[in-house]
Homo-oligomer: A and B are copies of this chain.
Amino acid sequence: MVDEDKNEMVVTPWEVKGRVDYERLIREFGTQPLTEELLQKVAKHTDGLHLQLRRKLFFSHRDLDTVLDLYEKGTKFVLYTGRGPSGPVHIGHLVPWIFTRHLQEKFDTRLYFQMTDDEKFVIDDELELEETRKFAYENALDLIALGFKPENTFIIYDVQDIDLLYDIALEVAKRVTYSTAKATFGFQESTNIGWVFWPAIQAVPCFIHAKLTGENVPALIPAAIDQDPYWRITRDVAAKLGYYKPAQIHCRFLPGLGVGGKMSASEPETSIFTVDPPNVVKRKIWNAFTGGRPTVEEQKKLGGDPSICSVFQYFYFLFEEDDKKLAERELRCRNGEILCGECKIELTERVNKFLSEHQKKREKARNIIDKFHIKR
């Protein structure tokens, strides 16, 4: 029963579970696949394709072609992504941020990053506003640690920055009926009115650049595909307000270390947090679900299955830059030439090396975090 439930795909902004069928999401959400042609168009501006594009971590989009056309004709775009600060950041969260930083660098463009401390408060019965605001600060350290440029990166903390957001949110909210919001997000009679209003707040960073600078340019949103419903509503409203429709580029979810589903902070033993010490990382990876066989003999004889292996996924998403070495690892696994223990040890080393650096940068970020805040 439990396994069956777990395999049924559920993808909403608040819940992702089951084995995710990304082709089906493209069809059901009505987005566009990232074609080779479009990828080549991106590559023209980025000195080759980023790992996350080569490996199809980003797989779907809306209007990316339009944004690139405008860019080539001289109209820049801004990047917009965000984070619901309901707990510490795990490695899965970093995936689209790393790609976003790459885009910022290559297109020399501004990023608006929304910390939705208000959302996490209204949707979670257990969380106090003080907690989500604290997480927003802590999570911002992780973002900054990735090397975003302060002069081009504006972190919006919803509660603290509501003075910048509220007028645009009202303009959006006035144009979204309860009926539309209900159909888009599955709101029910028991949903609280803060949650019902909230999609208007998430829309604001799509349009805030014009307010702050007077430049009306499109926003490009790199984010996991579960956030798509928000942009459907925002896109409908954009034209009425005289703005470009926000474009999007959608990524997959980094699987947790358990079976199926995305890495989730609510299952801490299957998530590697950015603040985890080395021994905790070691334990979590050691207990990870793999595609290996029950015994060494079987593994050597029959080989493993990297396609269901969470450890392999980590190499694939983040920890093996070299496509050739990745392919070798896959082949050696399938041929039974490598055991799960070896992969786990190697992954542990790489993750801990990465986190050791990240944690240092994260602490240094405390000194410069104010530089990433919108000045009044």
Interface residues of A (CB under 8 A from B): 118, 121-122, 129, 159, 162-163, 166-167, 169-171, 173-179, 181-182, 187-197, 199-200
Contacts and interface: CB of A to CB of B under 8 A. Distances in A.
A173 to B, nearest CB: 3
A200 B178 CA distance: 16
B174 A121 contact: yes
Contacts of A188: 178
A159 B174 CA distance: 14
Nearest to A163: B163
Contacts of A195: 173
Interface centre among A159, A173, A187 (most CB of B within 10 A): A173
A190 B170 contact: no
A63 B245 CA distance: 51
Given A122-B170, A170-B118, A189 B178 contact: yes
Interface centre among A159, A163, A174 (most CB of B within 10 A): A174
A80 B363 CA distance: 46
A177 B197 contact: no
A190 B179 contact: yes
The 6 closest A-B pairs by CB, nearest first: A173-B194, A197-B197, A179-B189, A162-B166, A163-B163, A173-B193
A125 to B, nearest CB: 8
A133 to B, nearest CB: 9
Count copies of this chain in the complex.
2
A193 B181 contact: yes
A364 B118 CA distance: 41
Given A176-B192, A178-B190, A194-B197, 7 more contacts: A162-B166, A173-B194, A177-B191, A177-B192, A177-B193, A194-B200, A196-B197
Contact of A193 (B163, B178, B189): B178
Contacts of A196: 178, 193, 196-197
A174 B194 contact: yes
Given A162-B162, A162-B163, A163-B162, A170 B194 contact: yes
Nearest to A187: B178
23 contacts: A118-B166, A129-B167, A129-B170, A159-B166, A159-B170, A162-B162, A162-B163, A162-B166, A166-B166, A169-B194, A173-B192, A173-B193, A173-B195, A173-B197, A176-B193, A177-B192, A177-B193, A178-B190, A178-B193, A178-B196, A193-B200, A196-B196, A197-B197
A222 to B, nearest CB: 26
Interface centre among A159, A167, A192 (most CB of B within 10 A): A192
Contacts of A192: 173-178
A158 to B, nearest CB: 8
Contacts of A178: 178, 187-193, 196
Contacts of A179: 189-190
A44 to B, nearest CB: 41
Contacts of A181: 193
Nearest to A161: B163
A121 B171 CA distance: 9
A188 B171 CA distance: 19
Contacts of A166: 118, 159, 162, 166
B177 A189 contact: yes
Nearest to A124: B174
Contacts of A118: 166, 170
B173 A122 contact: yes
A202 to B, nearest CB: 12
A124 B357 CA distance: 54
Contacts of A171: 129
